[in-house]
Amino acid sequence: MKRLLNRFLKLMDSKEEEKFYYIRVERNDKCYCDSGKKYKSCHFPEHQKKSKLAVKKINELTGEQSIKILSVKRLRKEHYRVKSNLIG
Ligand SMILES: [Zn+2]
């Protein structure tokens, strides 16, 4: 039991510098660029062409948010970080 706990703590430790998660910018959300348009009729078509998606990167410790444009491939790889912004 103690060994398991130690292993768990080690794991937590190694992830110390990566405490953040992503929230997808949904197509019907307002675009992050402040155009006032929805994402789907603003930057989304451009991103789609390049197989990219806009996400909000949220720092779990500070709550600090930043917009990232990431490739779909990368988001699939980091799917465990992606949280839906839909409640429920
Ligand atoms: Zn835009």
- 7 vs 76, higher pLDDT: 76
Q: Which residues neighbour ligand 1 (ion) by CB within 5 Å?
A: 31, 33, 35, 42-43
- C-alpha 17 – ligand 1 centre gap (Å): 30
By the 8 A CB rule, do 24 and 85 touch? Answer: yes
Between CA 36 and CA 76 the distance in angstroms is: 29
What gap in Å lies between CA 57 and CA 28, rounded to an integer?
Answer: 18
Position 44 scores a pLDDT of 97
State residue 27 phi and psi, 5-degree precision.
-60, -35
Rg (CA), the chain: 16
Task: Write the pLDDT tens digit of every residue in 17-75.
Answer: 668 999 999 999 999 999 999 999 999 999 999 999 999 999 999 999 999 999 999 99
Distance from the CA of 21 to the center of ligand 1, in angstroms? 22
Residue 51 Cα to ligand 1 middle (Å) = 16
Residue 84 scores a pLDDT above 80: no
pLDDT at residue 88 in the model:
41
